[in-house]
Amino acid sequence: MSNAVNSGPGLPMEKGVEGEPVSSRAGPSRALAGRPATVTLGVASALVLAAYLAGPAPLRAAMLLVSSTVAILALGAGVRLNRLTDRRPWTLAAVGLALLTVVNAWWYLSDRVSGWSTGGLTDLLQIAGYLAMLSAILLVVVRHAPHDGGGVIDAAVVGVAVAAPLWEFVMRPRLLAAGHSTV
């Protein structure tokens, strides 16, 4: 007879001396296992945000490219570490983010190097990047929609409720002040 009991989501437990379940994993509990990574991510995010807000235009562009590249690497690492059975949404998200990062780098370099132009290829890459991201989102939503249709509708309403004021009061005024069209 085995000492292991079913303890829930994939964590085998053993019975202790008094018959109480005892975790078979050594070290800190799972609740505390990710805390240093979370704190590190929070501090790094705050530093990147501060450098982006306070820095000159070249530093802001560099921070945008670095943070996008780190996000692509994090998606790849997350897929590998978590051994996901369906990698399509995450692969599409990484491809979309990579395409958008290439477009951002191209725009940054076109401002710095004479003779480089934007349009045409960069527009196609940007559209492809957004379509890849949209496809990733739809794959995730379609997977959960049959089980939680109300949750999908709630998420869509919250997304629009957050995006609309963000566009109207933050993004649009900044674009207009910089002389860009918002149409």
Whether residue 40 is predicted with pLDDT greater than 60 in this model: the reply is yes
- Beta carbons of 75 and 90 less than 8 angstroms apart: yes
**CB within 8 A of 128, min separation 6: which ones?**
96, 99
Q: Which two tokens stand for residue 157?
A: 């309403």
Q: How many CA atoms lie within 13 A of 19 on its CB side?
A: 0
Whether residue 3 is predicted with pLDDT greater than 70 in this model: the reply is no
* pLDDT tens per residue across span 63-117: 888 888 988 998 888 888 888 888 899 999 999 999 999 998 888 887 766 666 6
Q: How many CA atoms lie within 13 A of 78 on its CB side?
A: 13
The residue written with tokens 């002389």 in the block is 179
Whether residue 16 is predicted with pLDDT greater than 60 in this model: the reply is no
Annotated domain spans of the chain: 58-144
Percent of the residues in the chain that have a pLDDT greater than 70, as a whole number = 77
Task: Compute the distance between CA of residue 87 and CA of residue 56 in angstroms, rounded to an integer.
Answer: 38
